[in-house]
Structure 1
C-alpha cells in the first residue's frame, strides 16, 4: 500500500513539476522570442523608414521637375548622374524616374547593362496607382534584374498636371542576411499570406496558409511574382502551440512569434526552437523522480523500523500479561489449571495434526496443478516434433535395411537435433510457466522460419497443403529468442495447416514485412476462417475448437510475443481464411 501510494504521489509530483518547469521555460522562450522578433522588426522598419523619405523628397526636387518638363537630354543625363550619387549614398537598389507616358527618363543604373532608361513601366501597378493617388508601394520581382524588392513610388506634379513618377526600389539582401546571422528563421508575409522577405530564400513567395486554385491563378495573372508556385510553407501546426518544419531543416517543435503591421499589411513571423523548454521539463522530472525515490525509501525505512519496535513492545506486553494470568490462575486453582492445560495440549495436538494434513493436501494440489500446466503445454507444443522423430526413425530403419547407412545417419542426426530442440522447448516452457527470465537478443528471422517449417513439414505433406514464403530478407533480425520464436511460428503454422486440411487447394502463406522499426510475420490460410465468438476470445486459456486441443497454444504464443516486446494479432473473414500477424521489434545492427 505504501509503495502504491508513493508511486501515485510521485507520478503526480513528477508531472506537476515537469509541467511547471515547461511552462516557465516556455514563458522565458516566448519572452526572448518576442524580443528577438522586435529586433528583427526594428531592423526592417529602420530600412523602410529611411527609404520612404527618399521618393517624397525627390518628388519636390526642382531639377527633377525641370528635367521632366523640358525632356532636355542634357538635363535628363544630369538627373541620372544625380540619382546615381544619391542611390550610392542611401544604399537604394535603384532610383529611377518614369515619365507620364510610362517610359523611364532617368535612372541611377544608367551606366549598367541592366539600365532602366527607355524601358516602359506603364504596366506596373505602382506606376498607375501613384499617378492616380500620389503614392504607391508594391513588392515584386524586377523585370530586368529578376531580384525581389519593394517599389516606393511618388507622383511628380507640375503646373499643368502630373509629370511622372519617381520610384525607389528597396532590396532586402542586407536585412535578410542580418536575420540569417541570428540563426532563427524569420519571414514577412503580406495581407494575402505570401512570403516577401525571408531568411530562408527557398521560402520566398510561398503561402503561410494554403491558397485556393483561383487565388493562385489571380496572382500568376498579375505577373509581379515571376514563376512562383505559391505552394504552402513547409510548416505543420502542432497540437497545443507551435509549429514544426516538414523539410526537416530544424526538426522539433518551433515557437512561432508574430508581429503585425511591421509595415502596412505586413506581418513578421519568427520561428524559435522550443527544445530548451522540453529539455528543462525532462531534467526537472528526472531530478524530482530521484529526490522522491530517495525520500520514499527513507520514509519506508523509518516506518518499518518503527513498526518493528511497536510490534516488539506489543509482544513483550502480551507475554508479560499472559505470564501474570497464568501465575494467578495456578496460584488460585492448581488442579483446574492442570486439567485445562491437559485439555489445551490435546486440542493443540489435534489442531497441529489437522494443520499438517491440510498443508500436505495443499502442497499436493499445487504440485498437481503445476504438473498439469507443464504437461499440457509440452504435449501441445512437441506433438509435431515427436511425430517427426518417429517418421525419421522409421525412415532410418528402412534405410538401414536397404543398406544405406549414410542416409540413415542423416535421419539419426535429424532425430538428435529434434530431441535437442524438444529439450530446449520443454526448458523454455518450464521457464515460461515459472515466469521466464525475459532474455531478448537479436535473432535471425530466416533461421527461425526454417526451423518452424522443418517441424511442420510432415503436417503439410500429410494434409497436402502448399506453403508459400514471401518477403524474407537475408540477415534480417528481430529482438527475441530463436527457440521461443520457432515455438510461436510452429503453433501458427500447425493451426493454418489444420484450417485447410479439408481443402484440395489448401494454401498457407508466410509473409515477412519490414515497416519502419518493426518486422511483421504473417501466417495466412485460405480455410473457413474463425467464428466471431471464437475470434473475440481467441487468446483465452483452454479455448479451443479442436476435439483434442488444450486451448493453450495461442495463449502461450501471445505471451511469448509480449515477452519479446511485440504482439500477436488475428484477423478473419468468414469463408476467406484467417491471418495471424506477429509483430516484433527490429534488431539494430
Structure 2
C-alpha cells in the first residue's frame, strides 16, 4: 500500500510539472516566433516608406516645380499637373501636390477628379507649417477631402530667391493592410500610442493604453484623426512599445483564440512601432496536453518497472548469474563502441588537419592573386609614371648644364638656384619611385588606423599621367583629407587605382570626362563614393559585376572588382555599386571609422 500511494503521488506531480514545463517552452518558442514576425512586418513597412521618401526630395529639386511656383502661368501649371499625375500613377502614391508660400495648392496629381486639391488652402496643416520651418516634415492623418488615412510627406522648395513653397506626397497603406490581414493581427502605433496602420479596420485610431479626457480633447481638436473615439484595444493588458513579447488576453476578428503572444519592434526614424498578435491557444493547449499524457505514461511504466524490480529481488542465484553475464557482455559492447568512436575521432582529426592545410593553401593563392592583380595594374600605369619621371630628368639635365655655365662665368648665385631646382626635382622623382615601390610590395598587414587622404593621394599620383592624358577632371568633395579609417594603405590604394582605371576606360568618348571622390559619414562608417559621368553600368552587367571571370572588356579577366571587393571585406568593409541618380556609375567603399 505504501508503494502504491508513493507511486500515485509521484505520477500526479510529474504530470502537472511536465505540463507546466511544456507550457513555458512553447511560450518561449511563440515569443521568438512573434518577435520574428514583428521584425518581418517592420522590414516590409520600412521598405514601403523608403520607396516614397525620395519623391518629395526629388520634386523639391525639380526646376519645373520652383519655376511654376514663381510664375503661375496656366501653361506651366497644366504641365506640372500632368507631370504629378504621371508620377503618382507610376509610383503608386495616393496624391502628390504643390503648395505655394501661402499654403495654397497650385498643382496636384488629382487635378482631373472632383476631389481635386487645386485651389485648396492647407496652410493650417502641420505638415506644411513644419516643412516651411524645418525643411521637411511627416504627418499621419485623415485627408480633409478624401477622409482616408495616410502619411503626408512634405519638403520645402527653395530657389535662388528664397522659399518658394512646399511639395507634399500622401501615401496610403490599404494594400499593405490587406496583405497583413491574411495572417495574424498586426498594426502600427505612433509614439502617442495611437494605432495608425492595421490589418483590423475596427482597431484604427484605437489606443494602446487609455487616455485622459484632456488628451483625447486635444487630439480631437487637432483634427489629425477626425472624429475618432480613441477607444482602447480589446485586450486585457496594455501594450508597451519596445517591451519583451508577452501573453495577453483578448479577441480579434477571424481568430478563435482568445490568448495571444504580443511582440513589437520599432520601425525607425518615424518613431512608429509594429505590433503583432500571434495566437497561442491551440499550440499551448496541445503541447501541455501531450506533455501531460507522456509524463503520465512514463510514470505508469516506471511504476510497473519498480514493481517488477521489487518482485525480482527474491529471484534465485541463477538469475543473478545471468544478469552478471549480461552485464559483462554489455561492458564488452561498450568497449567495442568506445574503440570505434576513438578511431572515428582520430579520422576526424586527420580530416580537420587536411582542411586547415587546404584553407591555408586557398589563402596563399588568394594573396598571390591579389599581388598578381597589383603587378598587372602597376604594368598598366608604368608608361604614365615613366613619362612623369622623364620630364623632371630632362629638367635636371638642363639645370645641371646651366649650373656648369654659371660656374664657368663665376656666377655662384644663379648656379646655386639651378642646383636647388635639381634638388626639388630629385625629391619629386623620389616621391614617385617610393610610391611605386610601396604599391608593388606584397603586404598582409592587418587593418589599422590610417588617413584616407594618404591612400587617395597615392592612387592619384600613380594615375596622374593617365588622367591628364585623357583630360579627366578630378573633383574631391567632403572631408577627404583628415578622415581616419581602419584599413591598410597600399591595399586600399590598389582598390582605388582599380576603380579609377575602370572609370577612365568608361569615360572614353565623353566630351567633358569627370571623376568625383566624395566622403559621406554614417553611424561610425566612412563611405568613399567614386563616381563618373560616363554611360554608366547596364542592368545586365551590374548583375555579374562581382562574379569572377565575368567581364565586358576584350582583354579583361573579370577579376579586378572581385579582388577589390575581397580586399575591402578583409578590412571589415564593403565595396558596392550604388544606384546612380544621374548618368555614370557610382561605386561605394564603406570602411569602419577609426577612433
Match of 1:143 in 2: 144
Match of 2:289 in 1: 282
Deviations, residues 426-452 of structure 1 (Å, cap 9, x unaligned): xxxxxxxxxxxxxxxxxxxxxxxxxxx
Whether the 8 Å CA contact 1:140–1:151 is kept in 2: the answer is: yes
Quickly say closer, same or farther: Cα 1:77–1:230, change in 2 above 3 A.
same
What is the rounded CA distance, in whole Å, between the counterparts of 1:89 and 1:99 in structure 2? 24
Whether the 8 Å CA contact 1:135–1:155 is kept in 2: the answer is: yes
What is the rounded CA distance, in whole Å, between the counterparts of 2:196 and 2:43 in structure 1? 17
Shift of 1:2: 1.4
Whether the 8 Å CA contact 2:46–2:267 is kept in 1: the answer is: no
Match of 1:245 in 2: 250
What is the rounded CA distance, in whole Å, between the counterparts of 1:307 and 1:150 in structure 2? 83
Whether the 8 Å CA contact 2:259–2:280 is kept in 1: the answer is: yes
Shift of 1:309: 9.4
Aligned counterparts, 1:178-257, within 5 A: 178-181=179-182, 183-237=183-237, 241-246=246-251, 250=255, 251-257=257-263
Matched, 1:260 2:266: yes
Match of 2:299 in 1: 292
Whether the 8 Å CA contact 1:238–1:253 is kept in 2: the answer is: no
Q: Name whichever of 292-301 and 136-145 sits farther off.
A: 292-301
Shift of 1:58: 0.5
What is the rounded CA distance, in whole Å, between the counterparts of 2:134 and 2:151 in structure 1? 18
Match of 1:303 in 2: 310
Whether the 8 Å CA contact 2:43–2:267 is kept in 1: the answer is: no
Aligned counterparts, 1:85-96, within 5 A: 85-96=86-97
Shift of 1:115: 0.7
Secondary structure class of the residue paired with 2:53? helix
Match of 1:47 in 2: 48
Aligned counterparts, 1:449-488, within 5 A: none
Shift of 1:16: 3.3
Deviations, residues 154-194 of structure 1 (Å, cap 9, x unaligned): 0001222211110000000111111112x100001001100
Whether the 8 Å CA contact 1:236–1:246 is kept in 2: the answer is: no
Whether the 8 Å CA contact 1:98–1:106 is kept in 2: the answer is: yes
What is the rounded CA distance, in whole Å, between the counterparts of 1:160 and 1:152 in structure 2? 24
Shift of 1:287: 1.4
Match of 2:168 in 1: 167
Quickly say closer, same or farther: Cα 1:212–1:238, change in 2 above 3 A.
closer
Quickly say closer, same or farther: Cα 1:248–1:75, change in 2 above 3 A.
closer
Shift of 1:72: 1.2
What is the rounded CA distance, in whole Å, between the counterparts of 1:93 and 1:281 in structure 2? 49
Deviations, residues 220-261 of structure 1 (Å, cap 9, x unaligned): 000111110001111112999411214675333100011024
Whether the 8 Å CA contact 1:262–1:268 is kept in 2: the answer is: no
Matched, 1:11 2:12: yes
Whether the 8 Å CA contact 2:42–2:266 is kept in 1: the answer is: no
Quickly say closer, same or farther: Cα 1:190–1:293, change in 2 above 3 A.
same
Whether the 8 Å CA contact 1:205–1:230 is kept in 2: the answer is: yes
Aligned counterparts, 1:71-150, within 5 A: 71-150=72-151
Matched, 1:154 2:155: yes
What is the rounded CA distance, in whole Å, between the counterparts of 1:246 and 1:47 in structure 2? 29
Shift of 1:29: 1.9
Unaligned runs of 5+ in 1: 311-589
Match of 2:348 in 1: none
What is the rounded CA distance, in whole Å, between the counterparts of 1:169 and 1:122 in structure 2? 16
What is the rounded CA distance, in whole Å, between the counterparts of 2:267 and 2:246 in structure 1? 22
What is the rounded CA distance, in whole Å, between the counterparts of 1:151 and 1:238 in structure 2? 28
Whether the 8 Å CA contact 1:140–1:148 is kept in 2: the answer is: yes
Shift of 1:23: 2.7
What is the rounded CA distance, in whole Å, between the counterparts of 1:200 and 1:279 in structure 2? 27
Secondary structure class of the residue paired with 1:126? helix
Q: CA RMSD in A?
A: 2.2
Deviations, residues 246-283 of structure 1 (Å, cap 9, x unaligned): 46753331000110244522111000011213321221
Secondary structure class of the residue paired with 1:236? coil
Secondary structure class of the residue paired with 2:155? strand
What is the rounded CA distance, in whole Å, between the counterparts of 2:246 and 2:128 in structure 1? 42
Matched, 1:269 2:275: yes
Shift of 1:139: 0.4
Whether the 8 Å CA contact 1:102–1:122 is kept in 2: the answer is: yes
Aligned counterparts, 1:337-352, within 5 A: none
Whether the 8 Å CA contact 1:196–1:204 is kept in 2: the answer is: yes
Secondary structure class of the residue paired with 1:19? helix
Whether the 8 Å CA contact 2:265–2:274 is kept in 1: the answer is: yes
Shift of 1:87: 0.7
Match of 1:486 in 2: none
What is the rounded CA distance, in whole Å, between the counterparts of 1:66 and 1:148 in structure 2? 31
What is the rounded CA distance, in whole Å, between the counterparts of 1:235 and 1:248 in structure 2? 13
Shift of 1:15: 3.1
Deviations, residues 450-495 of structure 1 (Å, cap 9, x unaligned): xxxxxxxxxxxxxxxxxxxxxxxxxxxxxxxxxxxxxxxxxxxxxx
What is the rounded CA distance, in whole Å, between the counterparts of 1:242 and 1:24 in structure 2? 13
Secondary structure class of the residue paired with 1:210? coil
Secondary structure class of the residue paired with 1:33? helix
Whether the 8 Å CA contact 1:45–1:263 is kept in 2: the answer is: no
* Number of equivalences: 309
What is the rounded CA distance, in whole Å, between the counterparts of 1:264 and 1:7 in structure 2? 59
Shift of 1:307: 6.8
What is the rounded CA distance, in whole Å, between the counterparts of 1:248 and 1:66 in structure 2? 51
What is the rounded CA distance, in whole Å, between the counterparts of 1:191 and 1:257 in structure 2? 16
Deviations, residues 86-144 of structure 1 (Å, cap 9, x unaligned): 11111101000011111100000111111111011111011011001101100000111
Secondary structure class of the residue paired with 2:236? strand
What is the rounded CA distance, in whole Å, between the counterparts of 2:238 and 2:46 in structure 1? 30
Deviations, residues 313-357 of structure 1 (Å, cap 9, x unaligned): xxxxxxxxxxxxxxxxxxxxxxxxxxxxxxxxxxxxxxxxxxxxx
> Could you say which structure has the larger radius of gyration?
1
